[in-house]
Amino acid sequence: MTDEVVVTDYVHGDVRTERDKLGAVGATVRSVEAESTADLLDSVEDARVLLTTRVEITADVYAAFPSLEAVIRYGSGYDNVDVDAATDYGVAVVNVPEYCSEEVATHTIGLILACDRRIVQFDREVHRGTWDPEGQSGMTRLSEKTLGIVGFGTIGRLVAERAKSFGVDLLVHSRSATQSDLDAFDAESVSFEDLLARSDVVTVHTALSDRTRHLFDRAAFETMRDGAILVNTSRGGVVDQDALVDALAADELALAGLDVLAEEPPADDEPLLDRDDVVLTPHAAWYSETATDEVQRLATEEAVRVVRGERPRNVVNPAALD
Residue 213 annotated as catalytic = no
d(C-alpha 229, C-alpha 198), whole Å: 12
d(C-alpha 172, C-alpha 152), whole Å: 7
Identity of the residue numbered 94: V
Residue 264 annotated as catalytic = yes
Contact present, 285 and 233 (Cβ < 8 Å): yes
Where are the strands (E) in the chain, listed by range? 4-7, 28-31, 49-52, 70-73, 92-94, 146-150, 169-173, 188-189, 201-204, 228-232, 253-258, 278-280
Helices (H), 165-202: 179-183, 192-198
Which of 149, 114, 148, 107 lies closest to 288, judged by CA?
Answer: 107
Catalytic member of 235, 252, 302, 305: 235
Identity of the residue numbered 42: D
Q: What angle do CA 37, 211, 262 make, to 5 degrees?
A: 50
d(C-alpha 148, C-alpha 169), whole Å: 8
Catalytic member of 283, 294, 297, 301: 283
Catalytic member of 35, 144, 263, 264: 264
Residue 289 annotated as catalytic = no
Reported as half-sphere exposure (CB side, CA atoms, 13 A), residue 155 has a value of 26
Which of 179, 197, 196 lies closest to 187, judged by CA?
Answer: 179
Contact present, 2 and 47 (Cβ < 8 Å): yes
* Active site residue ranges: 235, 264, 283
